[in-house]
Amino acid sequence: MKQLNLILFTLFLPVCIMAQQRITGKITDSKKRPLQGVNVAIKDSYDGATSGKDGSFSFTTDAKGVQYVTATLLGYANQEQKVFISGTLEVNIIMRNNINDLKVVTITAGSFEASDEGKTTVLKPLDIVTTAGAGADIVNALKTLPGTQQTNDREGLFVRGGTGYETQTYIDGMLVRNPFFSGLPDQPGRGRFSPFLFKGTTFSSGGYSAQYGQGLSSALILESTDLPQRSSYTLGASVIGISGGLEELMKDKKGSYGIEADYTNLGPYLDVLKPKFRFSAKPVIMGGSANFRRKTSNTGMLKFYGYANKTHMGTIRPSLEHPGYEEQFELRNHNVYTNLTYKESLGNDWKFNAGVSYSVNVDKIDLDTLNKSASAKVKNQSELAQVKAMLTKGLGQYSLLRFGGEYQYGVEKAAFNNWPANYVDNYTSGFVESDIYFTPRLVGRFGGRVEYTSRIAKANVAPRVSLAYKLTGLSQVSFAYGDFYQKPEQQYLRFKPDLGYMKATHYIGTYQWVAKNYTLRVEAFYKKYHDLVKTSPDTTTSGTGYAKGIELFWRDRKTIKNTDYWISYSYLDTKRNYLNYPFEVQPDFAAKHTFSLVYKYNIPAISTNLGVTYSFSTGRPYYNPTLPESKFMSEKTMTYNSIGLSASYLTSIRKAFTIFILSVSNAPNFRQVYGYRYSSDKLRREEIVPNIPRFIYLGMFMNFGIDRRQDVINNL
């Protein structure tokens, strides 16, 4: 009988416990705000419910006794609560933010990253292309970010009281010796490389990694794209030239190759625009590039990029020195750039990166005061060969150690008429750096760099430290400190090999708040310059200086429908004593206040994007030699204002994806004066102004996608 009872009991056990109990409760976050959509369940059963708008839930269950109530919501840590069910039960659960990969702190002091990869990057690669007034030039687009100067009369990116020379450009880790086209006086060349070549752009305005050296102020780190998603042909035509290219994705989808050619001739367009100065040779640019990419394994990638370019241009302008005469400046430039990189995972959390690069740049310049004296011929040639290797070892979940070295062989040749001044430089460096996550919220980057260059025959050691701490899921603070060394510019090092390294020490503090559609950044910095080049009374590296300031960045992609805008403001207090400066003063390339507003408006109904960029900066000092030395650089130019407009329209012509672009730089034709130049007798001066104050560009690009997707769909 007993046994029968037992049998019956066992058989009906599942049935016996089927009495239903009601479980209710409320789910909140750690700040007691209700959470909606939380999946609440009795562990290992089907019973449960989803929390409503007020965070409350209610369900019935057959479960009894000791049970676990689970609560899951994406972005929050799973919660499990032990309960004892004997009747109606109330369970209130508090969920905590999950610290997962997305929420782990990253080092951000001093750097702006444009990439598709992170969900919370400040910029997307497309933002660079679509910034009005930038003309799809990377550096021009970056001039809308804090820390940069509106120095449109000089080549390069002027960052935080630094000169254009103090910013270095890297492609896939390799230094680019001549990232800009050679330009005419007061009309700097734009960047050589199209923003479409890169999937990631990091602009560091200071405190950057020990992987990079030889830039006192700033690093522009470009990462080339991987395999294209499909094969395509492109054709472009604009008021200034034509271009064409093809890119072929190999059948096995593990490799691709492409070629591109372009021809630009400003001649016909300049006849319409009427520039301020005549052209003796209207600018003609011819170029071509080739690339090859191959996946060598699941994790390995080999990339080649090669570029060759030829330009010819010249202007004739009234002579300042010799009234009544004209000065001719004619430039011929050849440039070749090649870059071969390889990366692979070696297993065991080791990664290997290596690259070789070779480039050569030749500028031939004819200077002539017409009908007065014989012309002077200047030739400048720089060659750079380099090799770089780096190993990275992952340590635990997030931390890592990286170290490597590079070697550069540079040949700098210059000739004035038949007077050559050539030199060779062997530059070697090694670096080691470790990102250590003390907790997922606190990371430190500790590293250093050792450099030796044969021309100077001295070594330097540059320590770099960064810290970042995540305050909340969206906000963090970062700090960076580091020493940065750079060789003096070639024109000084050429004649005075006993110069030392120039040096800058950076201290940076950043607060950043990044939500999905909003970004706020506030950064304060102090930079101390040592050993800058002096040319008077003698050429030495004994100059000094400092820069300090505060910068703001705000971006909002949501508040106004279909509108995306950002605002940058930079306050800069900088003085330096370098070149022929008699004492520390605010240099002639630095403005105290700089402001930019970038506004993008999208009209989906007619697939059109409109953009407006407004830039403002206060006047820059200029040197007036008629004043006593104590008033050196005491006068300032007028304020700088510029409004760029752009409109792009997407459509398809036959099967080609086509985009029309209209862009206007300085649309209201504001007067822009960058400075003044004086004749040596101090009797005359001329304004430094843009040769073409307002530039209107109209172009179209067609992409004939050999869209495998369509092929495949049509063949089904």
Partner 1 sequence: MKRILFSICLLVGLASASMAQSAQYEAVMGRNVAMLDDSTSFNPDKLLEIGNTFERIAAAEKTQWLPFYYASYCYVMSALMQRDNDKVDDLADKAAVNIEQAEAISPKNDEIDCIKSLVATSRIRVDPPSRGMKYGMESAELLVKANQTNQENPRVYLLQGQALFYTPEQFGGSKTEAKKKFEVALQKFSTFKPASSIAPHWGEAYAKGLMAQIK
Footprint on this chain of partner 1 (rule: CB under 8 A)? 3, 6-7, 10-11, 13-14, 37, 39, 41, 43-50, 70, 72, 74-75, 116, 119, 124-126, 229-230, 516-517, 607, 650-652, 657-658, 705, 707-710, 712-714, 716
Q: Helix, strand, or coil here: 514?
A: strand
Q: Nearest distance from residue 341's CB to partner 1, in Å?
A: 22
- Give least dist CB 101 to partner 1, A: 12
Residue 66 has a CB neighbour count (10 Å cut-off) of: 9
HSE at residue 627, side-chain half, CA atoms within 13 A, is 10
Q: Quick one: tokens of 471?
A: 């305050």
Which CB, 11 or 603, lies closer to partner 1?
Answer: 11
Residue (231 or 339) nearer to partner 1, CB: 231
Nearer residue to partner 1 within complex by CB, 74 or 374 = 74
CA 695/CA 321 separation, integer angstroms: 30
- 536: Cα separation from own chain's centroid: 36
For partner 1, the closer of residues 70 and 539 by Cβ is 70
CB of 651: closest distance to partner 1 in angstroms? 5
Query: CB atoms < 10 A from the CB of 377, how many?
Result: 15
Query: Quick check: 36 and 55 in contact, CB under 8 A?
Result: yes
State the Cα–Cα distance between residues 120 and 117, nearest whole angstrom.
Answer: 9
Output DSSP code: residue 715.
Answer: H
In 3D space, the residue among 144, 215, 111, 156 whose CA is nearest the CA of residue 570 turns out to be 144
In angstroms, what is the minimal distance from the CB of 678 to partner 1?
49
Q: How far is the CB of 199 from partner 1 (least distance, A)?
A: 11
Q: Which is nearer to partner 1, 230 or 576 (CB)?
A: 230
Q: DSSP code of 585?
A: B
User: In the bound complex, what is the minimum distance in angstroms from residue 61's beta carbon to partner 1?
Assistant: 11
Q: Please give the torsion angle defined by the CA atoms of residues 269, 270, 271 and 272, in that order, rounded to the nearest 10 degrees.
A: 60
Q: Least distance to partner 1 from the beta carbon of 663, Å?
A: 17
Please identify, using beta-carbon distances, which residue of 60 and 426 lies nearer to partner 1: 60
- Would you say how long the chain is, in residues? 716
Tell how many helices (H) and how many strands (E) occur in the chain.
6, 40
* Contact of 665 with 644, CB cutoff 8 Å: yes
Q: Among residues 50 and 634, whose Cβ is nearest to partner 1? A: 50
Provide, rounded to whole angstroms, the least separation between the CB of residue 556 and partner 1: 14
CB of 272 or CB of 712, closer to partner 1: 712
Helical spans, DSSP H, in 575-630: none
CB nearer partner 1, residue 41 or residue 174: 41
CB of 657 to partner 1, least distance (A): 6
| 3-class DSSP assignment, residue 711 | helix
Q: CA-to-CA distance for 29 and 400, rounded, in angstroms?
A: 33
Q: What is the largest CA-CA distance in the chain?
A: 130
* Residue closer to partner 1, measured from CB, 199 or 393: 199
Smallest gap, in angstroms, from Cβ of residue 650 to partner 1? 5
Other residues' Cβ atoms within 10 Å of the Cβ of residue 505: 17
What separation in angstroms does the CA of 628 have from each of 184, 330, 332, 633, 634? Answer: 31, 36, 40, 10, 10
